[in-house]
Amino acid sequence: MFKLVGTNPAVTLYRHITKQVPRVLTLYDINMEPREARLAVQAFFRKNAEIKDPRVIDMLISKANMELEETLMQWKQKSHLLTLLDSGVKLQNEKNVVYDDFEEGLDNFFAGIDTNHDEK
């Protein structure tokens, strides 16, 4: 549907979805910043970034194309889209929590603080 020769179809799909975000937010009258919605979309793509099987990748791209088409044709209800965006925001927040914990651990390590309380 949105294929260009020589490009990664996942990247092409991601770009197409992020370009449609402001339109979708307007169509469904969703009170969310486009930047926040794009981050939610990004979280879904990053969740599946480790998948290497080409058949699974093709299936995910096909499903995402169908989701986008259903959204643009307004075949979804506002509640469906809100649920999808909220779960994407939660994925993004989970990633940030893990990153913050990692950063805190590194800061403690470089400061010489021992956070391991196991007595041996």
Question: What is the token pair recorded at 42?
Answer: 């990004």
91 touches 44 (CB < 8 A): yes
Residue partners of 87: CB distance under 8 A and separation at least 6: 40
pLDDT digits (tens, 9 = 90+) for 15-32: 999 999 999 999 999 999
Contact present, 65 and 13 (Cβ < 8 Å): yes
pLDDT in tens, 29-67: 999 999 999 999 999 999 999 999 999 999 999 999 999
Residue scoring higher pLDDT (105 or 92) = 92
The tokens for 52 are 């290497």
- Whole-prediction pTM value? 0.71
Angle between helices 34-47 and 9-27 (to 10 degrees): 150
Domain ranges for the chain:
9-87
